[in-house]
Structures are given as structure tokens and as C-alpha cells.
Structure 1
Amino acid sequence: MLEDVERIEVIRGSGAALWGANAVNGVVNIITKHSADTQGGLLSAGGGSEELGFGAFRYGKQINASTSARAYLKGFERDALARSAGQSAGDAWNKMQGGFRLDSDLSDADSLTLQGDMYAADLNQQLLLAALAAPYRQTVGDRSMASGGNIISRWQHTFSDTSSSTLQLYFDSYNRREAYIEEERHTGDLDFQHRFALNDWNDIIWGLGFRYSSSDVTDIYPDLISFNPTDRDNSYYSGFVQDQLTLVDDTLWLTLGSKLEHNDFTGFEVQPTARLMWGPHPNHRLWGAISRGVRIPSRVDADMSLVGQTLPPFTGQNATPFPLALAVMGSQTYQAEQLLAYEVGYRFSPNPAFSLDIAGFYNNYSTLRSYQPSAIDTSQLPAYLRQPFYIDNGGAGRTYGIETSVVMKMLDWWRWDVSYSALKSELSSNAYYREAISPQHKLSLRAALNPVSDVTLDAWLRYVDNASAFTLAGPATSAPIPRWIYGWDGS
């Protein structure tokens, strides 16, 4: 439940040195409350024209002097959205979810947390799929089914005021069935971390991890989408170390670290970082960082075959008398996508009522995913021809921009949050595909008011610039996002 979230940390830039592969452009870390802080009962419910009905119930209890627990159940029913012409988009869906958390102080130095969740969802969607016969495309009204669960156990031990360790074990399982494919996946993960102060100027954290994931895919329409092999097991090993050095007391800090991982797709990957922060005055902080991150391949990159479009005979892009199926093909030789990130920033906080944060970044990407055509496959004649586009690492590019945020506390009960970001993307493309482009400008203006202790009011205005969609074998299409998004929430 949202009420059980203690805080949400948004880590800017590459977090791969600590979080590992795929933490390329940022990390969102959601931290939930200790069960001792969520005692008693809580009931919330509501409804509207789009969110037809939603509700949640949570109950927390102190089991004994050292152990507390809570359990929750929540669900919602959402109506279908409307297309620009007014007809239904056919994407109504609903979900039920429940879970628990237990916290226990085993001793003065040891604590244990056990938590888990289960969920089930029905998701309606309208899919526009390729077809290998006239009219060469089909609209499918699909009812997808998704279900799963997870359980996490975390043991924390405190050696001293400057040394502590965490051992975490989790297991996750899910099943998702759509009109054209079904996947069942089971994942187990073991993670150990140890943090200690080597001396007055070295704060070190290191850790080891192992993850095992098993995936089983059922190809419902193998002529359109398939995975080879259908079953695949993958193992991931990792280790990391990070040292924060105090070069000048309360003035200059240097952080050095790296993560070393091994995966079954690309082997070993090294992801280092170096960060320097200077505080010339208690109210001013300047910092800079250089980091390397990677996105490792998934089963889509390695094992998938997907017919995304079928060109009719005797058309502009297909002069043959046979349908031409354009198929994206995975590659077992696909390598990790690489990022080298440069960041600088400044923070000014003269008092608790005001703070200013400005950051600039430059990201250089290499070995990005691209698609290259190969010889036309004639094995399916006279039914159709097949044009494979094999996934490779021929792409590259760069992104750069700035992010700013200002927090102003006008009064004890009145606060303003203002943020703006500018993003410029320069990614490679060729005659066969165009990369999607993210919005260049985003602006957010939020007022939070708490006139009395039991009432909170929020007014929020956001602007999001246009974006473009990825396309294969054709020009990019511009998909404008609603320009002004505004809302008012009172609770």
C-alpha cells in the first residue's frame, strides 16, 4: 500500500557500480516502513469515471516485545481508455494483491525481516499483429492473465557503530499469458553486503551475489513469434566494492568503486565509478562523476523471432508477387550495450526552507542494439517470403542535458516544488529503422498545503514535450503526448 511507503529514492545517473547491470540511466529505490510503524487498522476506498473502484485494507499488530507484523489486501477495477475518435481502446483491467511483512529483533545486534506478496490480474488489450495472409494484419482483442508472488528474507547484523552486514534471500515467480505467447519464470537471488569504517577517512562497503532464473516459454503462434530454445536457465554471479575516502575533513570526499559480474550471455562485465564532492561551505556542494554501465542481453535479444509486419505483394516496398514478412531475429552473439557517463552538479541549501539542485550530464552509448537485414528466406514459398533483421550491436549515440529542482517552503504549511529537465538525444539510425526519441523538455510545478493537521491538499501542473516512436523499415512517426497535464488532489 502507498501508505506503507516510507520514502522513494531516485538515484540520478548510472548506478551500476552498486546495483549492477541494467542500472544504466538511474535507479528508483522504494523503501517501505517497518511494521512497528504501521500498527492497527487502515481502510481506504474510492472510485471514479476511469478508476471505477479501488480499495485497500491493512492491519498491523505487535506480536511481542521484539516482533511486529502487518498484512494487507488491495485491488482495483479500471475502465478502458478512449481513442482519439472516441471509441473504446479495449484496455480495461483489474488486479488483486495481498501480502505481509514481519520484523523481529532477534538480539541487540540482530534483526530479521520476512515479507511476501501475491497477485493476480486480468488485462484486456487490443493488439495489432502481423498476418501472413491477406489482409496481412489482424486486430486481436486479448484478455491477458498475469499472476505471481514473491518472498524475501533479510537478516541484518551490527558488529559495532561502524560495521554492519546484511544477508538477503528472495524468490520470485510469475506467469503471464497473452494471445500469442505465454511465459513462466522462477528467480532466486542471494545477496550479501558488509559495510565498515576502515579508519576515520575510509568508509567501505562490499558484497557478493548470486541469481538463478528459469524461463519457460510457450509459443502460441510460432509462425509470428517464437523463442528458441523455449526453456532457458541463466545464472548470474556478482561482487562489488566501494570506498568513500574523506580527503579533507568536512570539505572534500572521493568515492571509488566497481562491480564485477558474470552472466551466461556475455561473460564478465566490469562497471566502475569515480565520484568527487567538494563542500567549500556547509551550504554549498559541488560534485562530479564518471561511471560505466552496461545493459546485458535478455531472452528477447538472444532467442526471439518476431514477425512485426507483412508487406503485401506488388507494393512500393515489396515488388514480388508474394507477401514479405519482416522478422526481427535474436542473436546468440549479441553483446552488452555500454554506457560511459559524465555528470556534474551543484546544490545550494542556505536554510531548511530552500534548496536548489542543478545537474548536467553527458552519456556516451556504444554497441547499442541495431537491426541488420540478411538474405531473404524462401523456405516458406509459395505462402510467403521472409526478410530477417538480425539483432546486432551496430548502434551508438549520445544524450546530454540538465536537470534542475527547487524546493521552497513558504510557510510551515505551504511548500512549492519546481523542476525542469532538458534532454537532447542523438542516436544512430539507418534505412531499416529509426530509434525512439524521449521528450526533450519536462516541467513540473507542485504546491503542497497542509492548512490543518488532518487535511492535505496538492495541486500539480506538468508539461511533457513530444516524443517519437520506434519504427522498423519505415520513417519515424511522431506521437504527441498530451502537452499539459494538470490535477488537484485533496485528502
Structure 2
Amino acid sequence: MMKLKSCFCGITATALLALSEAAPMAYAAVANEYFDLDLNQLMNITITSVAKRDQQLVDAPAAVFVITQEDIRRSGVTTIPDALSMAPGIQVAQISASKWSISSRGFAGFTSNKLLVLIDGRSVYSPAYSGVFWDAQNTLLEDIDRIEVIRGPGGTLWGANAVNGVINIITKNAETTQGGLVRASFGGEGAWSLAGRYGGRLSETTFARLYLSADQFGGNRLAESEADGNDSWHPTQVGFRMDGRPDDDNEWTLQGDLYENEGDQWVIPYWTSSSPYYSTLDDDFDAKGGNILGRWRRELSPDQAITFKAYYDYNKRQDAVFNLEFSTLDLDLQYETPIGARQKLTMGTGYRSVQGDFDETYQVNLPDRNDSLYSVFIQDEINMVENRVWLTLGTKYEYNDYTGSEWQPSAKLLWKPAENHTLWGSVAHAVRTPSIVEQYGRVLMARYPVYMGGVYVGAGSLNFIGNQDYDSEEVNAYEFGYRWQALRNLSFDLALFYNDYDEVYTVFPEQSNLDVNSTFVNAQSGNGKGFELAMDWQPRTWLSFALAYSYLETDLTTEAWVGTQAGSDWVAKSAPKNQFSLRSSLALADDWRLNLWLRYVDQVSCRNTVNLLGDPVTIDDYYVFNANLIWSPSENLELMLAGQNLFDSGQLRYLSEYQTPATEVEPLVYGKITWRF
């Protein structure tokens, strides 16, 4: 960490000195580039996550949704997880002030493990337990250019763990963030946020920016109680980005972040070695880390390019349950070339090294690991009928230290039968490889006294135990989509899917003396099916609506030898069947805008270690209503008054499966001022 910090600080100091000496560029405009686009232009936004190269949204044979910077600005969200609520098919449920359950097309939970999350192509998926620590993802919201949300497998290009979706958070080029920005907000429950950013020109071809942000999120309250949830959260982050284009054929990026993340938490239950075994711990967590990423791209011809990307990522987390430290080195080489007039070939290779160091706690024991991943992929887009029909074939091969060789092929067909109509279909195979805990770990789930004949004979434990024979989870996914630009101001995007799951994990309990050891096994199979609809309508230049709806059914079966179907039934109900979102933006005057957002989330079932052996907890369906009023007295100054969760005095939205008590999200009213110079 010291090497990374020294390198980061050296680069930051150099950039800061250069920026301070450079003449600041005149501030051009407050509005994001998407602000003035009509819906027809929005359908042609350039995206990169579906094909791992530039393509228009309308030409993507996948269920993809783009959250733009203007969407983020108008929504009034204060975190990246809240912004993801705008996408159809994505379940976002807040567990505590700093914890979320975020999943795509089912399999929800704090440890949601079938959704790959990237920031500028850098994976933030934790190898410890196959999920994302969302409290550590605090990229400055104003620096985000767009968030590309893909529902469905992305393993052919992005590799293992992109089973039910890929989220790629893409930040702005430094050239577009010149000048200064200061933002401050203050709200109820002691919540506040401060951020600053400055960008300048280092040379005729090189631009840079620096940013610093600090936030304080007030705690939730314990469910069905007025008591404080003891889960306040205080993240701080600093970062930089430099972009250069020395000539027409070459461009490069160098960027990095450092963060420190502190918060309070209850650990319930907190198991101890001595009676009474069950207790409650008033704890805090400390997470810190940093990353540095470099990217170089050379255009060999108008349709031919080579791209090299490398990053180093360091993360450390300490609390009463987890003491873990990860270092990741990732190298990626990609080549794009046409083959004749009707084929576009994209291929690449990659290497990743992950070093994990763990300090054992009474709750969790993981071995130190040093793992490697090797990969190659190839994808060919064939224009079968000129400007009408495209067939895309591809596959990715990976070799990992847990399951060995993995193949992830896909085939996609896109057809444009008429102007403004696009039909697409996809068949894909994807895998989720095991995490460290699933093959080598031990997690204490309960501790209890044991009596025989009324006589105390000792204490027993319920443990989740890793299994070195535990294999990858698999999905074969079938998708169909239709995009229709009905009018210049009205568009529809529909996706239907059927996912066939196999080798899904569960646990097999076995008695060992006084203990019950539940081993991770591949013993569930089943399917998930449903559809997602997104609609945009702009009836007037000053009025717009964005609607999103998703429907999901999941059916899982546990193999008979495991002994119970309860786990499958709970997992199937952990994600809502129905979700609905309606956003509206109304320009009241040239300098006033009113934004309204209504969400509906169907009921779900949850289970955690407080009631591990009891029935799952059913969380009722709920509505979320957010509103904000934006006043822009000048092009450089913006003031916002915002309210979140205004319909309800407190909502239980999800219950973590592991050692986090049920908390309710309370209403929040805050004011924000943003000044650009």
C-alpha cells in the first residue's frame, strides 16, 4: 500500500503543480452533453460495454440501459447504488446506511454474486466472497459520464462472474472537466457532503483533473423501533485523471483514486466461544485502498486499433468479522480489425494476479491466497445482409486456479427490418467461478449449548465450510429484444429472457461431534424468466417522462440428497417479481426545474443469522417517492432542494443474510449548492 500511495501522491503532486501553473480554460457550459439531446439522439449514444468497442446503443444486441450524467443530476441521488435504481431489471435495496443488495434478474443479497461491476473497465468484484463492497465505490458523481447497465450474460467479453449482468461506470475524459467545481450539501440526521474538483490543460495535447470528496451519511433506525441503527458512514476519497492525445493515432489515460471509508455497525448476532455465546457487538469498520489505471490506444487505420490497459488495485477492510487485504494486478491487450467489407473482429488476451491476505477472526477464517487468471477471447461481427442483419459470434477461454478451464461462448443476431425498428436475439453461456470462502473458508453461523439427558456436555457450532470440489455455477441464457423509435420524442425498449441455471450453490449439513458443518455444494438448478421495458417520452421540450418496468419469476430445485427445498424457495423469492419506476422532469422556467421520481418494489423474502433456522422474513412491497427543485440563477451556479423517501416515515427494504440487523430507511431532506468556475 505504501508503494501505491507514494506513486499516487507523486503523480498527484506533479499534476497539481502543472495545473496551478497552467492558465485555466474558460468555463464553457454547465449543462451535460446529454441535456439538449432529443430521444432519437439518445438512442444513438456511443457505448462500449456490449462489444468492448464503440457502437451505437441502437445497434447493441443486448439488454442495455444507459444512465447519463444528466439522469444522475436530475435524479438528486447521492450514491452510485441509488443511481442504479433507474435501470430496469436491476434490484437495488438498501440494507443499512452503507450496505446494499444489488442484483440483476434475481439472486439478491448482500453477497449478490452474479453481477460483474466495473469502473472504467476495472473490476471491483471481490474475490473473497464474490460480491461488491458498495461502500467503497465513491467515484465523484459529477465525474461520471454514463453508467452502462447490461442485463444478461457478458462472459464472452468480460469473463467469469458476468452471469446475470455487467455494470460499467464510465468517467469523463479530463478534457471535458476543465475549470473548477465546488459542491456542498447538508441534510437531516447530520448528513453532509463536500466535494471539489479542478481541471486544467497541462500541454496542447494533455488535460488533467483532481478531485476530493468527503461525505457523512446519518444512520438508519432499527426496524420497528425508534432506536438508532448505529450505522452512520463517513467515506473520503481523492483522485486524479490525465488524458492525452499526442497525435491523431494515439491516445492515453492515466487515473487513480485513494479512499478511506469509516462507519459504525451492529454485529448481530456476534458469536463468542463462551456462554451465553449469542451477543451483540457495537462495532465499527475501516476500509481503505487505492488504484491506479493506465490505458493506451493506437489507431492503426480507421477501423483497426490496438488497446493496452493495466491497473493495480489495493483494498483493506478491518472489523470484528472481516480482516482482509487484497492486491490485484490486471493486464489486458485488445486488437480490433475488419475482415473484408462486412466483418469486424475483436480479440484479446489478459492476465490477472490476485494476492489475498487474511487475519483470522472467531467468525471467519480464510487462508492467504495468491491466484492467477489467464484469458483469451475472440468475437466476430458479420454484416450478413448489408445494413440489415448482423450476426455476432464469440467465445472466451479462461484458466483459473479454482476450477481450471472455462469456456463462455455466445451468438447474437440483430435485424433492422425498417427504419427505427431493431430486433435482436442472443444465446449465451456464462459461469460464476468459486470464491475463496466457497472452496477454502470457514464462516461461523451459530454457537449453542448442547445438552444430553438434561446434562450440559459442551458447546456446538454451525459452520459454513469450504469445499475444494465446489465447481462453477452455470447459466445458459436466451434473450430477445425489440427497440422502436415510434416518434422523435417517443421510444420503447423491450427485453425478454429465459435463463437456465445449473450447479447453483447451496450448503449440505453434516453432523461432526457437537458441530454441524454445512459444506458448499453445487446442488441447485432451475430457471429465471421475465421481461423488462423502458420507455422515454418527451411530449414537450420542457417536459419528459422515463418509465421502467420489470417482471421476474425464478424457480429453483434442490437435489434430494441435500435434504431440504427451503433454501431454493428462499433464493427464488429474494428478488421482487414486479418493479416499476417513473421519472418526470418539468422545466418551470428557464432557470427552474422540478424533478419527480416514483418507484414501486414488490415484496421479497430474506433470511439472516438472527433467525437462521426459522422461516424467512417477508418484506412487504413499498413505494419510494423522491422530488427535487433545481434553481440555476446563472450558468455557473446551481441550487437544489431535494427530498428522498417522502411517502414513508421509515422503510425496511432488505435484510442482510449475515450479521446485520434490520434497519429502516428514513426520509431525508437536503439542500445542495454547486458552483462551477
- TM-score using structure 2 length: 0.68
| Residue 97 (structure 1) aligned with residue 237 (structure 2) | yes
- How far residue 191 of structure 1 moved from its aligned partner, in angstroms, is 0.5
Aligned match of 1:69 = 208
- In percent, how many aligned pairs have the same letter? 35
Question: 1:53 corresponds to which letter in structure 2?
Answer: W
- Whether the aligned pair in 2 keeps the contact of 1:401 and 1:422 (CA below 8 Å) is yes
Q: Which residue of 2 aligns with 1:365?
A: 501
Give the alignment partner of residue 114 of structure 1, picking from 247, 250, 254. 254
**Alpha carbons of 1:112 and 1:396: their partners in 2 closer, same or farther (altered >3 Å)?**
same
The Cα shift of 1:416 comes to: 0.4
Provide the residue aligned with 1:447 in structure 2: 584
Distance 1:290 1:153 in 2: 33
Structure 2 matches for 1:238-253, cutoff 5 A? 238-253=375-390
Does the CA contact (< 8 Å) of 1:353 and 1:410 recur in 2? yes
Worse-matched range after superposition: 344-353 or 445-454 = 445-454
1:198 match: 339
The residue matched to 2:450 in structure 1 has which SS?
coil
1:419 aligns with 2:419: no
Q: Greater relative contact order (Cα 8 A, min sep 6): structure 1 or 2? A: 2
| 1:260 and 1:268 in contact (8 A); partners too | yes
2:154 match: 15
**Count of residue pairs brought into register by the alignment:** 478
Within the alignment, does 1:401 sit opposite 2:533 as a pair? no
Please tell me whether the aligned partners of residues 371 and 433 of structure 1 are also in contact (alpha carbons under 8 angstroms): no
Structure 1 position 173, deviation (Å)? 0.4
- After superposition, the Cα gap between the structure-2 partners of 1:400 and 1:116, relative to the gap in structure 1 and judged at 3 Å, is same
Letter in 2 for 1:252: V
TM-aligned CA deviation for residue 455 of structure 1: 4.0
> 3-state DSSP class of the match of 1:219?
coil
Q: Deviations over 1:266-314 (max 9, x none)?
A: 0010000011111111121111111000000111111211120134435
User: Residue 4 of structure 1 contacts residue 32 of structure 1 at CA under 8 Å; is this kept in 2?
Assistant: yes
Matched, 1:168 2:315: no
| Aligned counterparts of 2:395 and 2:439: Cα–Cα separation in 1 | 27
Counterpart AA for 2:342: W
| Corresponding residue of 2:490 | 354
User: Given residue 32 of structure 1, which amino acid in structure 2 is its aligned partner?
Assistant: T
- Aligned 1:339-350 pairs, distance under 5 A: 339-350=475-486
Q: Does 1:82 align with 2:225?
A: no
Verify the 8 A CA contact 2:607 2:617 in the aligned structure 1: no
Matching residue's letter, 1:138: S
Q: Is the 1:132–1:325 Cα contact (8 Å) retained in structure 2? A: no
Q: Which residue of 2 aligns with 1:386?
A: 515
Equivalent residue for 2:462? 326
* Residues 1:145 and 2:281 are matched in the alignment: no
Aligned counterparts of 2:372 and 2:299: Cα–Cα separation in 1: 30
Amino acid at match of 1:405: A
Deviation at 1:487, TM superposition (A): 0.6
- 1:200 aligned counterpart, secondary structure: coil
The alignment status of 1:374 with 2:507, answered yes or no, reads no
3-state SS of the aligned residue for 2:226? coil
Q: Structure 1 residues 16 and 320 mapped into 2: Cα distance closer, same or farther (>3 Å)? A: farther
Structure 1, unaligned stretches of length 5 or more? 379-384
**How large is the RMSD of aligned CA atoms in angstroms?**
1.9
Greater strand proportion: 1
1: CA distance between counterparts of 2:588 and 2:302?
Answer: 41
Structure 2 residues not aligned, in runs of 5+:
1-139, 631-677
| 1:328 positional shift | 0.5
Q: Counterparts of 1:56 and 1:370 in 2: how far apart (Å)?
A: 43
The reply to whether residue 477 of structure 1 matches residue 616 of structure 2 is yes
Q: Which residue of 1 aligns with 2:145?
A: 6
2:295 to 140, 147, 154: 154
CA contact (8 A) 1:372 1:432 kept: no
Note the alpha carbon deviations across 1:86-108, whole angstroms, 9 max, x for none. Answer: 10111011011000000111222
Per the alignment, residue 648 of structure 2 pairs with none
Match of 2:247, SS?
coil
SS of equivalent to 1:24? coil
